[in-house]
């Protein structure tokens, strides 16, 4: 293969920031966990990962100076016998908090747990891939497992190139450390986990989930909150097939007491205005030396923990609906799927959601501190209770 035909692309400003973030809040890895009944043969899974990787070269990237380049090596399937995820305290899990292997330069990995359930966990360094890119890769692995050809994502394009092509319609949002997190503040204990990772299964689905969660979070404050909503830039080019970082934020300011319909309308207006395209390299932080960027991230964490002064109140992300029946393979049937978000030094809360089999699976990364854990658990219970009350099917019986 000649150098001209090797898949490669420039590392974007967003991704350069993520290298610094990985140093401050390691391993800065997104996880997508698929739990199932039955068993999976590791060799069969590895072959499917190999097939999917050939069609999605963005899953095989290693850094080469200022570029990402296809290493030609698919993610390694690592079997962890007898291991299970403890969703009551995921921050203590030594496996998912470990670096991606088998070598430090790799950016993806697949874990196979054989504990209470047979679970496949897909791991990706956020500097090389975004959430929807992760989903594209996972979808193709399961297509390969079922004997179908992968769809593939051959385009070496990420956010900077797409924004340059499409154009940014306005100015970036001024982002300052002035926003309050719904979990409040709390001095961090150096002997305790600096970030919590917790989960809720919500037995309801419906429209406006992101807006509903934002409204619930805003109600916890006495002042206006700001939420960061990741937007998939692929919507601007439906033919684009890339696993690269193609998400930029839509910022939503929400006052306490505003209902979800108002928030949803504000989201629609922002999307119609293509406001997310304005946010590439907001603040130009990527132009500073990496040591300075790490210092800014640590200072942001300190301000949030001690003073509850944050760039945003929370990030709220939804990765869509998965059909588990379409992912079943002989001998193993998926029962649920959950996305575990990465930790970020400048973000107090990062919520991720997926919909499977009529339920919402919600997981949150939360900055830890004195009193935070109890407040987080109460907040998650409130979100689950309110969403189930709002979205539960109505009794249509005529009385």
259-290 pLDDT, tens digit per residue, is: 999 999 999 999 999 999 999 988 888 888 99
14/43 Cα distance (integer angstroms): 35
Instruction: State both tokens at 247.
Output: 């998400």
Q: Which sequence spans correspond to the domains of the chain?
A: 3-153+175-391
pLDDT for the residue numbered 217? 98
Residues with Cβ within 8 Å of residue 378, at least 6 apart in sequence? none
Pairing assessment for the beta strands 118-125 and 359-367 based on DSSP bridges: unpaired
Q: How many CB atoms lie within 10 A of CB 85?
A: 22
pLDDT for the residue numbered 394? 52
Reading across the β-sheet that carries 8-10, which strands appear in turn?
Answer: 8-10, 67-70, 61-64
Are residues 370 and 335 in contact, defined by beta-carbon separation less than 8 angstroms?
no
The list of the chain residues with pLDDT below 50 reads 1-3, 395-399
Peptide bond into 348 cis (omega under 30): no
Are residues 374 and 310 in contact, defined by beta-carbon separation less than 8 angstroms?
no
270/52 Cα distance (integer angstroms): 35
pLDDT for the residue numbered 1? 42
What are the two backbone dihedrals, phi and then psi, of residue 22, each rounded to the nearest 5 degrees?
A: -60, -35
Instruction: State both tokens at 100.
Output: 């991606």
According to the 3-state scheme, what is the secondary structure of the chain?
CCHHHCCEEECCHHHHHHHHHHHHCCCCEEEEEEEEEECCCHHHHHHHHHHHHHHCHHHCEEEECCEEEECCCCCEEEEECCCCCCCCCHHHCCCCCCCCCCCCCCCEEEEEEECCCEEEEEEEECCCCCHHHHHHHHHHHHHHHCCCCCCCCCCCCCHHHHHHHHCCCCCCCCCCCCECCCCCCCCCCCCCCCEEEEEEEECCCCCCHHHHHHHHHHCCCCCCEEEEEEEEHHHHCCCCCCCCCCEEEEEEEECCCCCHHHHHHHHHHHHHCCHHHHHCCHHHHHHCCHHHHHHHHHHHHHHHHHHCCECCCEEEEEEEEECHHHHCECCEEEEEEEEECCCCCCCCEEEEEEEECCEEEEEEEEECCCCHHHHHHHHHHHHHHHHHHHHCCCCCCCC
| pLDDT tens digits along 325-354 | 999 999 999 999 999 999 987 899 999 999
pLDDT, averaged across the chain: 95
pLDDT for the residue numbered 2? 43
């Amino acid at each position: 293969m000649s150098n001209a035909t090797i898949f490669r692309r420039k590392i974007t400003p967003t991704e350069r920031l993520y290298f610094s973030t990985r140093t401050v809040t390691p391993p800065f890895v997104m996880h997508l966990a698929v739990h199932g009944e039955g068993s999976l043969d590791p060799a069969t899974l590895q072959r499917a990962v190999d097939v999917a990787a050939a069609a999605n070269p963005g899953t095989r990237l290693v850094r080469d100076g200022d570029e990402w380049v296809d290493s030609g090596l698919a993610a390694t399937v690592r079997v962890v016998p007898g291991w299970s995820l403890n969703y009551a305290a995921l921050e203590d899990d030594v496996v998912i908090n470990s670096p991606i292997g088998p070598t430090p330069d790799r950016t993806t990995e697949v874990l196979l747990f054989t504990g209470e359930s047979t679970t496949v966990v897909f791991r990706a360094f956020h500097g090389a891939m975004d959430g929807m890119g992760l989903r594209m890769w996972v979808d193709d692995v399961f297509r390969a497992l079922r004997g179908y050809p992968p769809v593939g994502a051959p385009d070496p394009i990420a956010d900077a190139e797409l924004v340059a092509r499409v154009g940014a319609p306005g100015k970036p949002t001024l982002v300052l450390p002035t926003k309050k997190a719904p979990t409040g503040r709390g001095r961090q204990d150096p002997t305790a986990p600096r970030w919590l990772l917790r989960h809720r299964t919500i037995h309801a689905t419906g429209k406006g989930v992101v807006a509903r969660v934002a409204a619930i979070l805003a109600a916890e404050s006495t002042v206006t909150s700001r939420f960061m909503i990741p937007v998939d830039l692929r919507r601007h080019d439906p033919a684009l097939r890339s696993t690269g970082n193609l998400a930029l934020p839509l910022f939503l300011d929400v006052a306490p007491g505003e209902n979800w319909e108002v928030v949803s309308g504000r989201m629609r207006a922002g999307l119609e205005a293509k406001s997310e395209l304005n946010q590439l390299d907001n603040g130009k932080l990527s132009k500073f030396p990496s040591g300075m960027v790490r210092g800014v991230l640590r200072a942001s964490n300190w301000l949030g923990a001690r003073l509850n002064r944050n760039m945003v109140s929370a990030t709220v992300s939804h990765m869509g609906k998965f059909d588990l029946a379409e992912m079943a393979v002989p001998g193993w049937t998926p029962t649920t799927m959950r996305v575990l978000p990465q930790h970020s030094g400048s973000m107090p809360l990062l919520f991720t959601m997926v919909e499977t089999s009529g339920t919402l699976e919600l997981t949150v990364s939360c900055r830890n501190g004195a009193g935070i854990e109890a407040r987080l658990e109460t907040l998650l219970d409130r979100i689950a209770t309110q969403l189930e009350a709002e979205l539960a099917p109505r009794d249509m019986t005529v009385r």
